[in-house]
Structure 1
Amino acid sequence: MVDSGSQEFRAGEVVEGRYELAESIGKGGMAQVWRAADRETGLDVAVKFLRPDSEDLRQLDTLARQEELDVLRARFRRETMLLGRLDHPGIPELYGHGSHRGMPYMAMRHVPGVNLHKFLGEHGPLTLTVAAAVAAQVADALACAHTLPVVHRDLKPQNIMISDDGVAVLIDFGIAKPLGMGVTQYTRHGSTLGSRGYQAPEQILEKEPTTRTDVYCFGCVCYELFVGRPPFVADGTKGMVEQHLHDDPLPLAVHAAGIPGSLDDLVLRMLAKAPERRPTVEEVREVLAALTPRPGDPEPRPRLKRDPTAPFRLPRERPIRRQPPAPSPSAPAAHDEWLDARAVEKLCDEAQREIHDGDPDHAVRRLEGLAERARDEWGSRRPLVRRVWELTAEGLRLAGECGPAARFYESIASELVHGDGPEERACRAVLRLRAAECRLAFGEIEEAIAAVEAAGHVAAGLPASLAARVEEVRREVDLDVTERLAGPES
């Protein structure tokens, strides 16, 4: 049991002999963040701790409090995992993680600057170019997260930092969620995830989120960026929740002059009530990119202390990420001249156990990193190569990392399954169904329907045992398609 009253940290305290705490720079409902000095690198870092002493937890009885802490710890571990996978200048990279005084922590890049809420308060209505520069950077970071895909679920001005050098950084992946089959739900006691005023209708109704959920929340942020106010404001007749569920926002041009028609149309589509009517974040990024400044353009007037146009006007080479994850002791090292087949077999056995236990982790990550090298060294016909790729695909799918998993499944089907006998046809059908299942997380429903239909035709021409194998997976994917086509309840 955790003593919820013993977690007050102090300036000068050193976390695991490395991170010396300097000052508290933020405290939310379930976490607190300190600026710290990394004794190994000399860099300032942000160290985030889970808070077991929040008011919400104090109000629960002992058993319920411990259950909530278990959920929060699991969500904290997930946030740590996600940050370790996301590689983008607009997302803080993970430097380290562990436990300090019984509470989990993570150390990440410190972003000196102000959040977007404060930035808007300091500068009032932004010019079109400055607002577009902020929005385009956030869209690019969000697109990176969606490639896994991961849904942030809490996009709001307070979770977007404008750094001292003008970079917009998306922070706080505390309630972010990977999408896909087998992903555990970590829902707080009696809560609806997201922030008031920036929740998508499906969040308010407690429906399953998709990447289009983030698009809606981002649409609320963009509306505020370009016109200086959110799309909906509570009044005496109707609250914000009702407006988000039932009302259409006014065009941006009603509130601000000089709004391009393409931008007005984009933001209104982002705020569509039905997720399938919203654009993808890639479409959002494309429209916004046309509005950003170009290299060599003049700086904004009046001058800004933190200038979001600077990354576009004065582009700089991105620094190399620090501290890549250490290899597993049982895995072949990256600098080995040739892969050791016995070590790879052992790593495959470890990955198989992780997948069987429902917790794909380090071994699956190492296989992912070795997959292409194994194919290049040993060729596409060696059974061990196919085993590496299949375990990697399955592990990533179960971890909710649908984008990479789909690519592995598709590559196995096209490159590693040879011949056209009944066994090979069945394998390809199953692999393509799994790839389609992963692509559903990106809203690719028509492609999944086509894969289900194609698998049905394949199964009809197979021996009974092989047909049953294909049909089992086909029914799973078909059910997922049906549920998505049904959409949110009215």
Structure 2
Amino acid sequence: MTVAAGRVVAGRYALSTLIGQGGMGQVWTAYDGRLDRRVAVKLLRPDKVAGQEADELRRRFVRECRVTAQVDHPGLVTVHDAGSEGEELFLVMQYVDGADLSDHLAEHDPYPWQWAVAVAAQLCAVLSAVHAVPIVHRDLKPRNVMVKQDGTVTVLDLGVASVMDADTTRLTHTGTPIGSPAYMAPEQAMGGAVGPYTDLYALGVLLHELLSGDVPFAGSTALGVLHRHLYEPPVPVRRIRPEVPEALETLVLRLLAKDPLHRPASAQEVYEHLELLLPARGTPTGAPLDPTRPFLRPHAPWPDRARTPAPQPAPAVERAEKAEKPDVARAVDEVKRLLGEGRITQAVDILGAILPAAAEQHGEHSPVVRTLRKQYAATLMDDGQYRRALPELRRLADERAAEAGQADPQSLRFRYEAAQCLESLGEPAAALAEYRSLLPYYENQYVAGDPELAHDVRRRIGHLLLALGDRGAAHETLARLLMDVERLRGPGHPLAAEIRRTLQWLGQVRG
């Protein structure tokens, strides 16, 4: 069955970008049209398996979705929905913003051993929860592990996990075990019974790869790799990287034992060994995707306001950047349609994706690009993405002021909205400074005089002064504003009533 971007699964999930595929299925980023959020959709095709085996796969898929959805752990991707459509099975999961561990390793070579320990410790916590169900993941590998922006680790693809019953040692009867050869335990390679010890072996392979830069057993064919798992000892990692602690090398070798009985007894036991190697409490670097951060500052908020990481491009952005000649006009029409349906998140991604293409086609300062950038900033604000909207608004304000002067009403409007972003982001001092710099323009009738906006800015200044603890200045600002509002709009105006309530409360607490 052909799958294409734009297809809607189950009348709700619009496929966007293909991010992975294998022999039996594909994984897409998608948009949930009902809740206007990004999701990941996995499509499985049992029709690739013949006869009764396809029916068996369907039954076990549904059963396993029910069971895995019950596993409650922050390190597991959340399952939102599951079902079938035509010949396909679909699984809808949480969209995870980060980098998979394979890419993370490629970008940091050599991978700090402290990071490897932090990743493995987090994986132990996840595996412990999974094994308690009991479920065996069966396919733990770097591509199935995501490092999020805050350094926490999320495990993907429990959809291929097998419930630990006697009749579910395999999903199919084809003789091909579930899993990836490079990470496959000997007992799994031989089609034997799997258990928590099987995932611990895969954890050992993963740790060896992080520490040495390569899996312990590689080869040109799957059978060759499996043969090495069965019969060859792994190379100790300290021969490749002498700085790795001896205790960590010993743990990796125990995890890679051929006999399950010689491996650690549980993920809990592995964690106890790793805990001794974890970093002590301290101050993180502030960089995103640092897996030691959860241990340096456990449960600390993320992102730190002073160290906000740059937003990662959404998959739609990456797709548009790679496209040869994106259709800007069609994308604009699509954005209008989505906004009309209230699907703001999807509209934001399309606008962000089409902007570089539009700038290349029409010029960075063209009316087309300027209009798109305005729409992008406005849509980001509607979507509550104030941190991403702020630099867009500042850029628009600066460009407009350079063309038409500092008092240009449109430039002032962008600055006003930027101040609103600062206010919403909890940065009262910066917002107060911006509003104060705007106020003279709105009060000057010969420049950009706007009494209503001037009153609103003064109200916001008063409230920000309250937030900053300056009650005297807040009272003075709001009392003068009340007099002006009553004079221009009448004592019964809603703004006057609101200011009176604030002043009444302020009068009660000033002392």
Q: Could you say which TM-score interval applies, normalised by the shorter chain?
A: 0.5 to 0.7
SS in 2 for 1:296: coil
Q: CA distance change for structure 1 residues 183 and 286 in 2, over 3 Å: closer, same or farther? A: same
- Alpha carbons 2:169, 2:194 under 8 Å: kept: no
Amino acid of the structure 2 residue aligned with 1:310: R
For residues 86 and 181 of structure 1, what CA distance do their matches in structure 2 show?
20
Q: CA distance change for structure 1 residues 273 and 295 in 2, over 3 Å: closer, same or farther? A: same
For residues 34 and 300 of structure 2, what CA distance do their matches in structure 1 show?
24
SS in 1 for 2:159: coil
In structure 2, the gaps of 5 or more residues are 303-511
1:266 aligns with 2:251: yes
Corresponding residue for residue 312 of structure 1: 295
Shift of 1:239: 3.9
Deviates more, 1:106-115 or 1:140-149: 106-115
- Alpha carbons 2:169, 2:193 under 8 Å: kept: no
For residues 151 and 36 of structure 2, what CA distance do their matches in structure 1 show?
23
**1:44 alignment partner, one of 38, 62, 69:** 38
For residues 190 and 97 of structure 2, what CA distance do their matches in structure 1 show?
36
Shift of 1:165: 3.0
1:21 aligns with 2:15: yes
SS in 1 for 2:181: coil
Corresponding residue for residue 123 of structure 1: 108
- Alpha carbons 2:25, 2:45 under 8 Å: kept: yes
1:167 aligns with 2:152: yes
Shift of 1:305: 4.6
After superposition, what is the alpha-carbon deviation per residue over 1:83-102, rounded to whole angstroms, capped at 9, x for unaligned?
Answer: 31111121111112233345
- Alpha carbons 2:147, 2:289 under 8 Å: kept: yes
For residues 11 and 172 of structure 2, what CA distance do their matches in structure 1 show?
33
After superposition, what is the alpha-carbon deviation per residue over 1:107-153, rounded to whole angstroms, capped at 9, x for unaligned?
Answer: 11111222212221121111121111111111211111111121111
- Alpha carbons 2:181, 2:189 under 8 Å: kept: no
SS in 1 for 2:51: helix
Corresponding residue for residue 209 of structure 1: 194
1:284 aligns with 2:293: no
Corresponding residue for residue 92 of structure 2: 107
Q: CA distance change for structure 1 residues 79 and 275 in 2, over 3 Å: closer, same or farther? A: same
1:10 aligns with 2:2: no
Shift of 1:264: 1.5
- Alpha carbons 2:185, 2:201 under 8 Å: kept: yes
Runs of 4+ in 1 over 6 A off after TM superposition: none
For residues 221 and 23 of structure 1, what CA distance do their matches in structure 2 show?
27
For residues 166 and 256 of structure 1, what CA distance do their matches in structure 2 show?
24
- Alpha carbons 2:46, 2:58 under 8 Å: kept: no
For residues 207 and 184 of structure 1, what CA distance do their matches in structure 2 show?
8
For residues 100 and 318 of structure 1, what CA distance do their matches in structure 2 show?
40
- Alpha carbons 1:251, 1:264 under 8 Å: kept: yes
Shift of 1:307: 1.8
SS in 1 for 2:92: strand
Amino acid of the structure 1 residue aligned with 2:279: P
- Alpha carbons 1:75, 1:175 under 8 Å: kept: no
Structure with bigger gyration radius: 2
After superposition, what is the alpha-carbon deviation per residue over 1:403-424, rounded to whole angstroms, capped at 9, x for unaligned?
Answer: xxxxxxxxxxxxxxxxxxxxxx
Corresponding residue for residue 153 of structure 1: 138
Shift of 1:188: 4.8
For residues 125 and 214 of structure 1, what CA distance do their matches in structure 2 show?
25
Alignment of 1:302-381 (within 5 A): 305-316=288-299
After superposition, what is the alpha-carbon deviation per residue over 1:245-272, rounded to whole angstroms, capped at 9, x for unaligned?
Answer: 1222232211112222221111111111
Corresponding residue for residue 95 of structure 1: 80
The total of aligned residue pairs comes to 300
Corresponding residue for residue 436 of structure 1: none
Corresponding residue for residue 31 of structure 1: 25
After superposition, what is the alpha-carbon deviation per residue over 1:194-235, rounded to whole angstroms, capped at 9, x for unaligned?
Answer: 211211111121111111111111111111112222222349
Q: Using the aligned pairs only, state the percent identity.
A: 40
Q: CA distance change for structure 1 residues 164 and 205 in 2, over 3 Å: closer, same or farther? A: same
SS in 1 for 2:183: coil
Corresponding residue for residue 127 of structure 2: 142
Alignment of 1:435-454 (within 5 A): none
Shift of 1:297: 3.1
Taking structure 1 as the reference length, what is the TM-score of the superposition? Answer: 0.56
Greater relative contact order, per chain length (Cα 8 Å cut-off, separation 6+): 1
- Alpha carbons 1:35, 1:44 under 8 Å: kept: yes
Corresponding residue for residue 455 of structure 1: none
For residues 255 and 79 of structure 2, what CA distance do their matches in structure 1 show?
30
**1:186 alignment partner, one of 166, 171, 190:** 171
Alignment of 1:79-90 (within 5 A): 79-90=64-75
For residues 18 and 253 of structure 1, what CA distance do their matches in structure 2 show?
51
After superposition, what is the alpha-carbon deviation per residue over 1:142-191, rounded to whole angstroms, capped at 9, x for unaligned?
Answer: 11111112111111222212223322221112331122355574225241
SS in 1 for 2:241: coil
SS in 1 for 2:299: coil
Corresponding residue for residue 460 of structure 2: none
Amino acid of the structure 1 residue aligned with 2:29: R
Shift of 1:15: 3.1
Amino acid of the structure 1 residue aligned with 2:5: R
For residues 152 and 247 of structure 1, what CA distance do their matches in structure 2 show?
24
Shift of 1:242: 2.7
For residues 184 and 201 of structure 1, what CA distance do their matches in structure 2 show?
15
SS in 2 for 1:174: helix
Query: Pairwise CA RMSD of aligned residues?
Result: 2.7
Which structure shows the bigger proportion of residues in helix conformation?
2
Corresponding residue for residue 418 of structure 1: none
Shift of 1:304: 5.3
Corresponding residue for residue 282 of structure 2: 296
For residues 287 and 252 of structure 2, what CA distance do their matches in structure 1 show?
25
Q: CA distance change for structure 1 residues 106 and 293 in 2, over 3 Å: closer, same or farther? A: same
Taking structure 2 as the reference length, what is the TM-score of the superposition? Answer: 0.54
Corresponding residue for residue 255 of structure 1: 240
Shift of 1:37: 2.1
Q: CA distance change for structure 1 residues 104 and 232 in 2, over 3 Å: closer, same or farther? A: closer
In structure 1, the gaps of 5 or more residues are 58-63, 320-490
